[in-house]
Amino acid sequence: MATIVGSVMTSHVPAIGRAIAKHLEADPYWKPFFDGYPPVRAWLDRVKPDVAVVFYQDHGLNFFLDKMPTFAVGAAAEYRNADEGWGIPTVEPVRGDPGLSWHIIESLVADEFDITSCQEMKVDHALTLPMALLWPGGGDWPVRVVPITMNHVQHPLPSPRRSYALGASVGRAIGSWDENARVVVLGTGGLSHQLDGKRAGFINKPFDLMCMEALVDEPEKLARYSALDLVREAGAQGTELMAWIAARAALTGRVSKVHANYHVPISNTATGLLALQNDGPALARAA
């Protein structure tokens, strides 16, 4: 059976892509951010995942305000990257895993989630930048990908509780997949930030740090917030925290923290990184 090795939650600010393209990792402005990733890369090199299931928000590449599914799952053999207007260099197509994708889709429908299934899908910076941070080198990443987009744009948004249930359902689906594969679950976005309106530039460091701590041992605490609570506490775009909640909920049993990093500001955004190892029974059996 498939094994969930752990989860990585990380920010996906578009400016990161420009910094990578210009080789600014050692620049004083960027260094505290990029210095957070080597310990997580070392951990990934040890656990060697075959597949990454990625919870993220599509930024208008596939869905816009006229058509906005609450949850959509990619089921393609490959996913092409395109420029959404940020001027970030595009990357080579990302390899998919249609077998796991359809297994997750069928499992989610059985759990009464209404899913949009995408047999063709483009992926934006919310997926490609985390991949570049975790596996640097310009593409040809060592994992296949199952992309799962969540609506963090058009109200009404899914609630944190529903996002937690989505992640838990995906975790059960992965655990029941009859393939000898090791899976890492990514949640990308956030943390607190607001890009427009009177609160543009809003960052709530105490709330961010509380969330990062709760995700380790008591993620259900975050599921008790409403979507509007997240807007109030983390800013209009801080609702991307729900991707972190979903990724955490996919883990089974006990978890241990591999590494965490928090840095502000990057492009008026609070950036975070949290890696958790899945120490539940599934990982023990695989070992």
- Rg over alpha carbons for the chain, rounded to the nearest Å, is 17
Q: Residue 259 catalytic?
A: no
b (16+ CB within 10 A) / e for 89-120: eebeebbbbebbbebbbebbeeeebebbbbee
Calculate the alpha carbon distances from 109 to 19, 112, 170 in Å. Answer: 40, 5, 11
In the numeric block, the tokens 């955490």 are attached to 248
Catalytic residue, candidates 12, 59, 125, 152: 125
Could you give the CA distance from residue 211 to residue 265 in angstroms, rounded to a whole number?
18
Catalytic residue, candidates 12, 193, 259, 263: 193
Q: Residue 125 catalytic?
A: yes
Contact 159, 227 (CB under 8 A): yes
Residues designated catalytic: 125, 193
